[in-house]
A and B are shown apart, each in its own frame.
Chain A
Amino acid sequence: MAVLTYIQAVNQALKEEMEKDEKVFVLGEDVGKRGGVFLATAGLYEQFGEERVMDTPLAESAIAGVGIGAAMYGMRPVAEMQFADFIMPAVNQIISEAARIRYRSNNDWNSPITIRAPYGGGVHGALYHSQSIEAIFANQPGLKVVMPSSPYDVKGLLKAAIRDDDPVLFLEHKKAYRLLKEEVPEEDYVLPIGKANTVRDGDDVTVITYGLCVHFAKQAAEKLEQEGINTEILDLRTVYPLDKEAIIKAASKTGKVLLVTEDNKEGSIIGEVAAIISENCMFDLDAPIRRLAGPDVPAMPYAPTLEKEFMMNPEKIEQAIRDLAEF
């Protein structure tokens, strides 16, 4: 098994799927000759040629629209938004077309497109390169939103997204790209979309989170273990639709739940998670459900001190877990 970074896992999954199925192709800004700004598509242009690795104009609406159309005609496009922040012009295509087409056509049509987009902050990216945009897409039945937390998950989930017969928004944390490394099997494997993953067992506090925050939560939990605080961590993996069964199980286990996101607090994914818990786990709760999130300000600031204040980190999570454990 080779040790891969998060971004290498993206690259490997794309390469393998393109080798396996010739209907798979990628399109996006600078994905071809340049290999993508983060090098997610590095080497693909050389291997598969310009017809399967398409550089597009600076027009997200077109990238999504072309991909959705091709998907409806039987292709398996993987469209890349250079930054998730730039997905806004494509929202109409994604929500009104891709997410609705199966329902609107009464199952006659479907659109198996995968849209990849790097999201998240902590990289001095400021307003246009730091946002978390998952909440915008998190009440659109017909669309799936997947946010992997590790290289292993990236490979298995991206393959599953490409093979899924319906549109999947695949959000990759850009800080994780080169920060996270782990052994990733060379063989072909997929992880189920719509299922959460217990990454750590504990009986004091349950942390439910996704994406890069899973990594932070693990760091916090390891530190707290030395203090005798055992943390259960549930990685949502898919933030829409949510794995209600796993959320209920994890929340009921300890009765003390910490929900973590890097996104702005109000209206975020974890608000929905909190609602599921309060609907189902009333008599298993031992403490108020606690949300740890970014502040409700428009975007992550550029100034390093303010960015740090906004950004999630292991210390904030550690303190929140300890507070709950002591409650």
Chain B
Amino acid sequence: MGGAEEFLAAAVRTGTPLALAALGETVVERAGVINIGLEGIVLAGAFGGLLAAGSGLVAGFAGAVVAGVVVAALFALFTVSMRADQIITGVAVNLLVVGLTGALYRGIYGATGAALTIPTTGTLPIPLLSRIPLVGPALFDQAPPTYVAYCVAPLLAWWLYRTRSGLALRAVGERPDAARAAGVAPASVRWIAILLGGVLGGVGGGMLVLSQAGTFAEGMSAGRGFIAIAIVALGRWHPLGVLAAALLFGAASALQFLFQAMGWALPYQLFLALPYVLTLLALAGLAGRRAVAPAALGQP
């Protein structure tokens, strides 16, 4: 692989866990809920993946999903059933997961746990497609969950914009009272949306362990959940836009590899900060034109 191919592959690899988490959050936010606890969901997914990986990779991803859903359910219990503030609950959920995973990790694997490695999924090249020059290996020679992200984005777009239940979900995010008058139960819809966000966020977190790192580290989500929330805004709350935004963000993160390959001697912290700066600039540039956020976002 040449430098450009490697760059594109790194962009997709970095972007996919973000894409999965952000796609879940898109549904959540379309239902009028902002789940800051996504960071905790991703971290829980990573830890759940590690715990279950002993029984195989499929079990690992199942563990990741269960962990993500449990955390999401806690968030939904407080924000939907008890109508507590979403931001505050999300912050508390993040604290809880950081503490729980850290303590359990040390408790189960010892104080260091450094030597712990598990087998990873490796890549699954798609026949023919992976042979397309330049973009083939980047897009179609990736870990299996990557293809899940490719499929989930158009499926979600179809669901949200072409089905009655998708319309109901978006109605809950725009005008919960109008939706209720039309026979939709906003609380049930939000519960389902948040749990779905837990599934996808959990898979995204599981990917970090099961497809990429092959090990777990305390706090290894490293802000990916927060970034995913920014990506939802960047993708303007549309699944396809969100997928594109996630890959764009992955590309911005992968720039460091490209510049390293080109022998630029810039401090690497500048490249690490670059995606966050770009996100801020993109949000500022995009938001000026048209209001696209769900109108009832953040209201209990």
- Are these two chains actual partners, yes or no? no
